[in-house]
């Protein structure tokens, strides 16, 4: 994708193609930007500055970011049809981790793409059918996945009851070790797990946090080597 755009023109009937003009560069974007490669068909139309989306906000987890905003006020001349585009890039490197989505008709979008932790900028652009365009930026720091801060146990005979601190926004915990009934067990909304009928000796379990994006296959966790480990001695 070409990243060096300077004044913007688009062609009638293909207004959304102008979103390629919104790739940021070091000195930002002027109110008008020109595409440096031709688009197909139609008469070129100059895009002029128009109302931008208002009250942008969002919230998320290590796996996704929910972004929403209020529709912009009507541009001069009355109400128009408005579609939106969202462009994401890493704040510390505008050439990294870019995502571009166009053709949004509702003032919301969920970013469920895999990305490393860090600060990201999201540019929300409103394209109006009167050939005006306005945009607003939102900054969000994607958190790193974390595991429970503490794990502990209660021993009762040859049964071990594992417990751990809850993790904010976690989707599930995965517990691995003996006495669970399966090699590993996934728990949703629960921070305790019994391991039963254990033979005497030393037993070890690992507990990891997993973060999932809604309606997506994206799942994020720390490396397995960073999962919490607990070791318990069951006496004879």
What DSSP designation does 157 have?
T
- The pTM for the full model equals 0.76
151-234 has the same fold as 9-142:
yes
Top-tier CATH class for 9-142: mainly beta
How confident is residue 39, by pLDDT bands cut at 50, 70 and 90?
A: very low
Beta-bridge partners for 139: 121
Instruction: Give the pLDDT of residue 79.
Output: 65
Domain 151-234, what fold? Immunoglobulin-like (2.60.40)
Q: Which range, 6-20, 26-40, 68-82, 85-99, has the best average confidence (pLDDT)? A: 85-99
* pLDDT at residue 54 tops 60: yes
Phi, psi of 102 (to 5 degrees): -125, 170
* C-alpha separations of 24 from 20, 88, 115, 142, 226 in Å: 10, 10, 19, 20, 36
CA 6, CA 171: separation in Å to the nearest integer? Answer: 43
Q: Quick one: pLDDT band at residue 36, thresholds 50, 70, 90?
A: very low
pLDDT digits (tens, 9 = 90+) for 154-183: 999 999 999 999 999 999 999 999 999 888
CA distance 227 to 64: 21
Residue 184 to residue 176: CA distance in whole angstroms = 4
The domain locations on the chain are 9-142, 151-234
């Amino acid at each position: 994708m070409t990243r060096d755009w300077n004044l913007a023109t688009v062609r009638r009937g293909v207004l959304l193609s102008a979103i390629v003009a919104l790739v940021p560069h070091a000195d930002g974007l002027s109110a008008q930007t020109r595409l440096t490669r031709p688009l197909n068909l139609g008469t070129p139309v100059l895009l002029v500055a128009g109302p931008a989306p208002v009250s942008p906000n969002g919230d998320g987890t290590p796996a996704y970011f929910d972004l929403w905003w209020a529709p912009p006020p009507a541009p001069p001349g009355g109400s128009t049809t408005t579609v939106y585009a969202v462009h994401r890039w890493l704040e510390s490197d505008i050439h990294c981790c870019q995502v571009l989505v166009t053709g949004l008709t509702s003032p919301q979008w969920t970013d469920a793409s895999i990305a490393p932790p860090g600060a990201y900028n999201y540019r929300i652009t409103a394209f109006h059918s009167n050939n005006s365009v306005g945009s607003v930026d939102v900054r969000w720091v994607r958190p790193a996945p974390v595991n429970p801060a503490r794990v502990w146990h209660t021993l009762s005979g040859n049964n071990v009851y594992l417990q751990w601190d809850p993790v904010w926004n976690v989707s599930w915990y995965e517990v691995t070790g003996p006495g669970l009934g399966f090699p590993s067990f996934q728990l949703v909304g629960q921070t305790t797990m019994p391991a039963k009928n254990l033979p005497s000796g030393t037993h070890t379990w690992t507990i990891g946090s997993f973060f999932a994006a809604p309606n997506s296959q994206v799942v994020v966790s720390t490396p397995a080597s960073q999962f919490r480990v607990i070791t318990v001695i069951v006496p004879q």
